[in-house]
């Protein structure tokens, strides 16, 4: 399960790979509903929760600033984020993607039935990572089930531009340039949870 697929368009990329230790994240994925801030984002019928931040580096990311009270300050989660970052540096290098990265901010998504996310990007100064912890196989009753709940993306830096749709599975890890436009098609099957980390690039 360590295979990777790399898609490149001009100076943009999408790396579709697998993070085998995704189960480590599950104890942290049940959140207090009062901390949901999806109403401020591009998400619809999906909860969005703060997870972790570096208080200095997070200021360099175009994301909702977290207050100290938003963050649990869990040392175990901090260790897991740093472990993921170390693995991510190696996986990028293995695919000839040479960036120095540091984790800056993290959040999670919990999609409800019918939940989706409109197209958006995270900006030019970061690398974005999505790791799925829960993802059910979608039914195909209308013959188009392969797209339900898929992560979709448009890379526009090349000619011609490139479109990709990637169906989530537990452990799937998607790493992209922060300026790649992406979203999520409506979800049918739940639970559907994922962790997102934005890294600053140096």
| Mean pLDDT across 22-42 | 91
Write out pLDDT tens, residues 143-181.
655 688 899 999 999 889 999 999 999 999 999 999 999
Lookup: tokens for 122:
């995270």
Whole-angstrom CA distances from 200 to 82, 95, 123, 138 are: 14, 19, 10, 34
Residue reference for tokens 């039935």:
113
* Six-digit token string for 188: 């049918």
105-120: average pLDDT: 94
Contacts of 137 (CB under 8 A, 6+ apart): 189
Model pLDDT for residues 63-78, shown as the tens digit of each residue: 777 877 788 778 999 9
Architecture label for domain 5-30+51-201: Sandwich (2.60)
Task: Quote the pLDDT of residue 110.
Answer: 96
- Quote the DSSP letter at residue 70: G
Residue 85 φ/ψ, nearest 5 degrees: -60, -45
Q: What average pLDDT does the chain have?
A: 90
DSSP classification of residue 157:
S
Cβ-based burial of 1 (10 A; exposed 0-12, middle 13-18, buried ≥19): exposed
């Amino acid at each position: 399960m360590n295979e990777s697929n790399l898609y490149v368009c001009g100076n943009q990329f999408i790396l579709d790979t697998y993070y085998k230790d995704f189960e480590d994240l599950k104890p942290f994925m049940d959140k207090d509903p009062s901390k949901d801030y999806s109403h401020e984002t591009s998400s619809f019928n999906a909860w969005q929760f703060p997870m972790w931040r570096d208080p200095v580096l997070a200021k360099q990311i175009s994301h909702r600033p977290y207050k100290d009270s938003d963050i649990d300050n869990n040392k175990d989660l901090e260790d897991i984020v740093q472990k993921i970052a170390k693995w991510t540096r190696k996986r990028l290098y293995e695919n000839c993607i040479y960036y120095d990265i540091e984790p800056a901010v993290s959040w999670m998504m919990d999609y409800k039935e019918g939940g989706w996310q409109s197209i958006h990007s995270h900006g030019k100064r970061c690398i974005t990572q999505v790791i799925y912890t829960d993802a059910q196989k979608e039914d195909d009753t209308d013959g188009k089930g392969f797209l339900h709940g898929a992560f979709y993306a448009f890379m526009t830096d090349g000619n011609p531009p490139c479109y990709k749709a990637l169906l989530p599975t537990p452990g799937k890890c998607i790493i992209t340039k922060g300026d790649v436009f992406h979203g999520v098609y409506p979800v049918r099957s739940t639970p559907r949870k994922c962790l997102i980390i934005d890294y600053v690039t140096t």
